[in-house]
Chain A
């Protein structure tokens, strides 16, 4: 990867570029369309930098290896699509509970089940929040261009390391399989966050210590700090507990370590929202169509803007509320039967009309469809 200026990069390879920039040194996965090029890219690039790539027997083995390698100190990732993501959920839940930083890239295709391998979808939006069972707080990001697939992947790793938690990259097939001429970030251009390591002696080490920001220091296995990792609810020493007085704080920790600092997770792009009377709310590839629709409608004299969510979870409710406060109407476009729209509806006051535009036939929403909807609600 010598050339970093004006290179043609595919969305899935942009994930690889971003991940390696962020310090990825372990990848385990099982190839699945439309995510396979992420695995191919990691298989090609990781050995060059002393990293490891393993093709596992299936997606369950893949995520298990990713969890294990992260506990052993690696920056780890896997990539998959709907059917594989569903198989991974149990161990992603394990990573929430054991507070293991890792990144899962879900290149969304049509579902349910094996669905549409080569077709686009955004129907895993809610799964990225509520996939595994139990209570926890999820972080998920949604890139929309090749360039921001690189930067959002870096951000996913930084958030995973910062909060000691799994982070999902919700890519979709259109971005994954498109290419664009981009400039890759130069070394040092973007800050990289690494997990905090313990400074105390192994004897004094408390593996799930309630620190001020609720994120505990994380040594690598083999560095001399011995501790238990279990999916059972555990006390600060990592041992299984059934005591309400310890269960409450553990679950609060999983939520509050993120929610108390949720502003750090938020990323939004706005377009022409200053005087907008109508706003598109979009994420992923749909935001590209919305951006085009805003540009075309503005030239035709309509006061319309766009709020693009890069951070899907936690849902940036304060920002969406503030940005849409002066709008009369909001149009939520999604490649599913309506998922993020429920969040938009939840946070916006009742006097703002909310309209939906949903496509789930394996094709992307086009600027023309968004403009037709805009015309209908004007």
Chain B
């Protein structure tokens, strides 16, 4: 027993992200925007899956995005390369799925206890409310930060994808959110 499983290696051509939080925080929409950004800008394959409860708001919500230059067999994440946790509950639930050396990004507005010191923390919700002008763009700030930290998608491709989905009248807020995300994440990387 164990001989086969010991030999199994999760293929490194897959880059697996999980965006997680509470229902209403826009995690599923963020994963859709990220997938569309990659779809429109290069030739990689993308699958996006989601899981949520029967509630319209609240309850755990998560969405996986798998990116690969090759055919994606299993569409969900097997071993996360990156985890975004917007709430304490989602961090506690999904941190064990993050692989060793994987990137952890946390909303420090809502998360107070950390299972590791090795993480990137930004107060996405607070930045959205106070700097971008609306709490609803917290997910876009987080997306921009992820793009900055991982380089999985260009700023231009992400901006186009966000604006394609943004309701009319919210374009400026969303552009500002992208700017905040990139700028704040860049500071973290240097520090």
Contacts and interface: CB of A to CB of B under 8 A. Distances in A.
Same complex: yes
Contacts of A299: 7-9
A127 B45 CA distance: 35
Contacts of B43: 6
Nearest to B2: A375
B73 to A, nearest CB: 4
B40 to A, nearest CB: 7
A237 interface: no
Contacts of B32: 8, 179
Interface in B5-37: 5, 7-11, 32, 35-36
A8 B49 contact: no
Contact of A291 (B8, B11, B54, B73): B73
B159 interface: no
Q: Which of A8, A117, A178, A371 has the most CB of B within 10 A?
A: A8
Given A178-B48, A178-B49, A375-B5, A367 B75 contact: no
Contacts of B144: none
Interface string A287-327: 01101100111011110000000000000000000000000
A118 B52 contact: yes
A118 B49 contact: no
Interface string A179-222: 11100000000000000000000000000000000000000000
B75 A371 contact: no
Contacts of B10: 296
Interface string B26-67: 000000100110111001011111111110000000000000
Nearest to A146: B47
Nearest to B51: A118
Q: Which of B4, B11, B47, B78 has the most CB of A within 10 A?
A: B4
A177 interface: yes
A7 interface: yes
Contacts of A141: none
Contact of A180 (B1, B8, B52, B75): B75
A296 B76 contact: no
A368 interface: yes
B46 A180 contact: yes
Give chain B's interface residue range (CB within 8 Å of chain A): 20 to 34
B78 A302 contact: no
A174 interface: yes
B185 to A, nearest CB: 24
A288 B45 contact: no
A135 interface: no
Nearest to A295: B73
A6 B39 contact: yes
Q: Which of A296, A299, A300, A366 has the most CB of B within 10 A?
A: A296
Contacts of A343: none
Given A8-B35, A8-B39, A177 B75 contact: no
Give chain A's interface residue range (CB within 8 Å of chain B): 35 or more
A378 B39 CA distance: 40
B64 to A, nearest CB: 9
B5 A372 contact: yes
A371 B4 contact: yes
B38 A181 contact: yes
B33 to A, nearest CB: 10
Contacts of A301: 7
Contacts of B73: 288-289, 291-292, 295, 367
A119 B46 CA distance: 22
A6 B45 CA distance: 9
B72 interface: yes
A341 interface: no
A288 B78 CA distance: 13
A139 to B, nearest CB: 26
Contacts of A378: 4
B78 A367 contact: yes
Contact of B45 (A180, A291, A297, A374): A180
A375 B2 CA distance: 7
A291 B47 CA distance: 15
A180 B9 contact: no
Contacts of B1: 375-376
Interface in B104-146: none
A179 B4 contact: no
A375 B35 contact: no
Contacts of B4: 297, 300, 302, 371, 374-375, 378
B74 A288 contact: yes
3 A-B pairs with least C-beta separation: A292-B74, A300-B7, A292-B73
Given A8-B32, A117-B54, A376-B1, 17 more contacts: A174-B75, A174-B76, A177-B49, A179-B47, A180-B45, A180-B46, A181-B39, A296-B10, A297-B4, A297-B8, A366-B74, A368-B5, A368-B8, A371-B4, A371-B5, A374-B4, A375-B1
Interface of B: 1-5, 7-11, 32, 35-36, 38-40, 43, 45-54, 72-76, 78
24 contacts: A6-B39, A8-B35, A8-B48, A145-B75, A174-B49, A177-B49, A178-B47, A178-B49, A179-B32, A180-B46, A181-B38, A289-B74, A291-B74, A292-B73, A296-B9, A297-B4, A302-B4, A364-B76, A366-B76, A371-B4, A375-B1, A375-B2, A376-B1, A378-B4
